[in-house]
Amino acid sequence: MTVLKHLLNKIYPFSSRHETSDVDEEEFKLPNMASLVIMIAMNFLLQVSFFIVVSSSNKYAEYLGGSATFSGIIIGIPTAFAGLALIPLTRYDKGMYKMPLHVSCCFAILGHIAYALAYRANFLYLILIGRCLNGVAFSVFMYCKRYCTDPRIVGIRRRTTLASWLVICQGLGMSLGPFLGGVLYNIGFSNSIFNGYTSPGWVMAGVYAGFWVLVTKYFEDIPQPQTMIELQSATNSNAPSVLAAEANGRETESSPNYSSAPATRPASPTDVSFRAQLSLITRSQWGVIACMCWFSMLCFFILGSWEANLPVFGAAAGNLNWSPFAAGNFIALGGITCFPFLLANLLAARRTQDRKLLAFGTMIGLAGLLIFLSILRTGKVNYGSLFACWWAVALGFNLATTVTLSLLSKQLPPEWNGRTSMAIQYSNYTGRVTGAIWGGSGVSVGMLNYVGLEIAMVGIGAVLFTTLWRDLKTKTG
């Protein structure tokens, strides 16, 4: 036994095993469980908020004098304001998460109340104002993604898994939101304050009020990095010596006509560090960044356009003639039937490379678009054929969204996580807002043109993907 231990120590020293254990622990680390659950639950609530108006917004806008295109704007406009809200939030968040969560809960409540009051005020643009306020709340979509890939709290082999949880919540929100909106519309509630159009706003405002209490009580933010504290302490302790040196310098000036050259402000360590990091990014990595941003925009463009288009197309198609309740049920059914596959993806993400997940999801989504194009050309649109297309589109492009940020976080330096989170989230927002407007206009521009543009966009992504296949390889998990 002693000889065996001696041989093991020679081949695999204790220090090496200890270092390997530390590396494994670092790669598989997770944040505080209560805080992680709150961030994932927040992502779910925001998804429900985004989609709960999908089934009835067309009728609500029509009642107040709007059009189908305006209903698409109602669905998509929050993401534009979410992008604007990120500018001040990221400036003052100090790399933390609690302040953005409080801002999100506050504006979600205000936005849903304004959306609900539009009926009583008989003012079409109050719907838009309410959704714009909701948009500020939707800025936390970025923080949810950043939290799940933050190298300070999440190991490299946990990021795709946590991103899969976000996608599961995305699928649940995409299902529950339209279904709940359709049910509330169908119940009606013949009341000028609480009715089929306004009840989604009142219900979600109440939910966010309760959730805000949980955030205040249970969410634990990331501790401020020790290096920052030490830097501040060092700066404060060095201040007297710096002042003394300046005083001595002034005392030694002997010439009354002495004039010094204008001082130039030295570059800050942050600026130098950013330039150094920027110079280390290779051309292939820039290509990967562009590819992930394109797919991030593409997936949410197609998902957003279908969710906005289905109620309009279903109401316009003579053989369907959908009400908001029927449209909400249809959208929800597609999401619910995708749910088991999204759960399976949670397990597959631990053992499958990100690039393969992206390829698999894109192929399924493209198949749904091609089938939809064929049934439009042949005029064989019915409930079953349309559902098969929606199911493939919903499953495929939801799966593809799993890896866009996690893949970048594995390839780029940890300091870039905030920047890549912003890049991916702005791509998401661009896809959501343009997709919702495109979906609302789908019937008016022609459904063949509608689906043809989406197929062309997938084709561009396929060219990027195949060109950069080798560069997209990362660790699993």
| pLDDT confidence band for 264 (50 / 70 / 90) | very low
Q: What one-character-per-residue DSSP string does 227-252 give?
A: HHHHHHHHHHHHHHHHHHHHHHHHHT
Boundaries of every domain in the chain: 30-222+283-472
pLDDT at 402 over 90: no
Task: Determine the pLDDT at residue 225.
Answer: 58
The per-residue pLDDT for 278 is 66
Give yes or no for a contact between 108 and 200, defined as CB atoms under 8 angstroms apart. no
pLDDT at 254 over 70: no
Residues 68, 58: Cα–Cα separation, whole Å: 6
Mean pLDDT of the chain: 81
Interior CA angle at 280 toward 470 and 148, to 5°?
A: 70
Q: Binning pLDDT at 50, 70 and 90, where does residue 274 land? A: low
Q: Structure tokens of 49?
A: 């908020």
For residue 130, give every residue at least 6 positions away whose Cβ sits within 8 Å of its Cβ, in sequence order, or none: 110, 111, 112, 113, 114, 115, 116, 117, 118, 201
The runs of H, that is alpha helices, within 281-403 are 283-316, 324-348, 354-378, 383-400
Average pLDDT over residues 291-317: 90
Backbone angles phi, psi at 117, to 5 degrees: -75, -10
State how far the Cα of 176 lies from the Cα of 203, in Å rounded to an integer.
Answer: 13
- Tell me, yes or no, if the pTM score tops 0.85: no
30-222+283-472 CATH pick, 3.20.20.70, 1.10.10.10, 3.30.43.10, 1.20.1250.20: 1.20.1250.20
Q: What is the per-residue pLDDT across 365-396, written as a single tens digit (0 to 9) for each?
A: 999 999 999 999 998 889 999 999 999 999 99
Mean pLDDT of 90-109: 94
Give the residue from 421, 396, 395 showing the smallest Cα distance to 407. 421
Average pLDDT over residues 457-477: 88
Higher pLDDT, 316 or 42: 42
**pLDDT (0 to 100) of residue 236:** 45
Model confidence at 247, in pLDDT bands (50, 70, 90)?
very low
- Residue 1 gets which letter from DSSP? -
Q: Express each pLDDT in 164-218 by its tens digit.
A: 888 888 888 888 888 898 888 888 777 888 888 899 999 999 999 999 999 999 9
